[in-house]
Structure 1
Amino acid sequence: MSSFVIELDLLRTLPNNKHYESLNSDGIPKLRRVLLAYSRHNPCVGYCQGMNRLAAWAMLFLPEEEAFWCLVGIMDYIMPPDYFGKTMMAAQADQRVVKDLIAEKLPRINAHFEKNELDISLFTFNWFLTLFVDNVPPETTLRIWDSFLLEGNKVLFRFCLAFLKFKEEDILKQRDMISLNNYLRTLGEKIFDVGRLSQIAFTELNPFPMKFVKQRRAFHLPQVQLELEELDALRGEIREKKDQTDLMEFSSDDDL
């Protein structure tokens, strides 16, 4: 199953980059091998959408084997357990942490989002899963990756909030949900001043203790797990009812 999904995602990875723009591009077979290798290295995760961008970005700067070990380092050591894979439980919990941090650090933006009933995870979830590779200027992505590889996953929260703080006034000018959605969909593409972005992330947003992030993760993770278990139970009930209905219809046909 992983190999089939990987094939579907190869040309969706970095379609505007010459190394990945077509099946004949030099990066495509390398990307395929790295993703298949990781799916075998960690069968509990296998392949998850988002991993393709991480591997492809790493291979822009590293040989194929080193890119594989870079992917292993990110997936298995830097990011929390259960971040990628079937449920993305930790990734879902982190989006709730993002909302907590926005409420604390960016109260004007938070009030604006609440007023317009905007779910910010529609935009930030992809930032976290792809480590800001998708729809972000390369210079900005490079600075984020430098900080991420040095300091760990807390950096993702810093830069997520820094993106919003950087464009706070423009965000507040969007007067309804539609305009907010349209603006935030391309927000990453608008962040070119890496120096200013880093100043916001590492100076203006301080204090930014990892202790707070860990506490909020510990609070949200059990809630996400419980909700997923309830969803699985509901799906099981629906399947059971469907099976019973199908059996009754089959029995009725036999009576005819």
Structure 2
Amino acid sequence: MAKSKFSDVDEYGFKRDINFDYAAYDSIMTNYYKVLTKRRMKWQNLMKNPSNFHIKSSKLKRYIRKGIPAHIRGEIWMHISGGFKALDKEPLLYQSLLATHYDIEIVDAIRIDLPRTFPENVFFENIRTPLFNVLIAYANHNKDIGYCQGLNYIAGLILIVTKNEEYTFWLLKILIEDITQNYHTKTMRGLITDIGVLHGLIDVRAPEISQHLETIGMPFPVVTTKWFICMFAEVLPVETVLRIWDCVFFEGSKILFRVCLTLFLQHKDDILECDDISVLANLFHSIVKDADATNCHEFINNIFHVPGVLKRTTIERLRVQINSKTVNDKRN
């Protein structure tokens, strides 16, 4: 293994894989650190005027797409998602939820999942109790969802970034209730719909991929369910996930489709060469950890170029079509 100035643990406490390519990472980060330094200075100037966050300007979008510095990421997420506004409206909500009676079944489910959440993260023991608090508070708040697997990864990663329970609660609430509506309900209706939307988008942009997956018997949900439900946490490298979430908190779920489309389209030839379901499964496992995925800055640039134009109206139209078809199928 090549010598590297980088630790085997990243800045968020995640242990790097034994096969981690330190030489490639050195090359990537040598250039990326220069970008981070420039961006940090620009963000410092932007934050001098809080009114810059009151409107969704093209300037703010450009800054976010180029990356939010790690040390202010949690605060910026609260600004751009509307988290601070929601907190100001109900400043006592989080603490009041912690003081309510806990459903013992939900408590047990959360306690079972906590040790499974980021077991490779060296900081996790420090956030175990805060993460439990956030998850049980949200379960008390949203009875329709309560607690389901996937929320632990999302809330856990937010907490690692913000280091603030209350901020994490509000950001989790916004992600689950506003950005990925009905992904985590018992029916998972929103998740099923959006997987169908992605399938429709692939049918238009690369129909041969859809046909190939069907031919070898690889259902779309097998590949993409975890991508959507965890919003790529525990899928892509952590810094890439956080760069994606920077954009998601500002631009919404459309970003998730851009990421999915990029992963499919960038690896189109490799996908079409797989002639066996197990080989294809291994390919999808590898493409989310390769050099393209690790180079977070280049990856984010790609999600805004590789898929081409992707209008919100197109996504909404496909959602309506899929939901209407579902209703008609049930009637018949």
Is the TM value for this pair above 0.5?
A: yes
Following TM superposition, the consecutive aligned residue runs of length 4 or more in structure 1 with deviations greater than 6 angstroms are: 226-230
1:229 and 1:50 map into 2 onto residues whose CA distance is 32
Pairing of 1:232-243 with structure 2 (within 5 A): none
Picking from 212, 215, 225, the partner of 2:317 is 215
Q: Which residue of 2 is the match for residue 193 of structure 1?
A: 295
The alignment status of 1:79 with 2:183, answered yes or no, reads no
The alignment status of 1:44 with 2:148, answered yes or no, reads no
The alignment status of 1:11 with 2:115, answered yes or no, reads yes
The alignment status of 1:162 with 2:262, answered yes or no, reads yes
Q: Which moved more, 1:162-171 or 1:26-35?
A: 162-171
AA partner of residue 134 (structure 2): V
Q: Which residue of 2 is the match for residue 102 of structure 1?
A: 202
**Does the 8 A contact of 2:203 with 2:210 survive in 1?**
yes
TM-superposed deviation, 1:51: 0.8
Alignment size in residue pairs:
225
Extract unaligned runs of 5+ from structure 2. 1-104
Picking from 234, 245, 251, the partner of 1:134 is 234
Identity %: 30
TM-superposed deviation, 1:182: 2.1
Q: Which residue of 2 is the match for residue 60 of structure 1?
A: 160
Extract unaligned runs of 5+ from structure 1. 231-256
**Higher RCO (CA < 8 A, seq sep 6+):** 2
TM-superposed deviation, 1:13: 1.6
Greater C-alpha Rg: 1
1:160 and 1:59 map into 2 onto residues whose CA distance is 25
2:331 and 2:123 map into 1 onto residues whose CA distance is 41
TM-superposed deviation, 1:227: 6.5
Picking from 140, 146, 156, the partner of 2:246 is 146
2:141 and 2:171 map into 1 onto residues whose CA distance is 13
Q: Which residue of 2 is the match for residue 248 of structure 1?
A: none
Against the structure 1 CA distance between its residues 88 and 8, is the aligned structure 2 distance closer, same or farther, given a 3 Å change threshold? same
TM-score normalised over the length of structure 2: 0.64
TM-superposed deviation, 1:218: 1.1
Per-residue deviation, residues 202-237 of structure 1 (Å, max 9, x unmatched):
12312111111101111212444676899xxxxxxx
Per-residue deviation, residues 125-169 of structure 1 (Å, max 9, x unmatched):
111111111131112111111111110011100001111222223
| Cα RMSD for the two superposed structures | 2.0
1:151 and 1:15 map into 2 onto residues whose CA distance is 31
**Does the 8 A contact of 2:266 with 2:306 survive in 1?**
no
TM-superposed deviation, 1:110: 2.2
**Does the 8 A contact of 2:110 with 2:135 survive in 1?**
yes
AA partner of residue 190 (structure 2): A
TM-score normalised over the length of structure 1: 0.81
Q: Which residue of 2 is the match for residue 70 of structure 1?
A: 171
TM-superposed deviation, 1:54: 0.8
**Does the 8 A contact of 1:58 with 1:67 survive in 2?**
yes
SS at match of 1:61: helix
**Does the 8 A contact of 2:198 with 2:257 survive in 1?**
yes
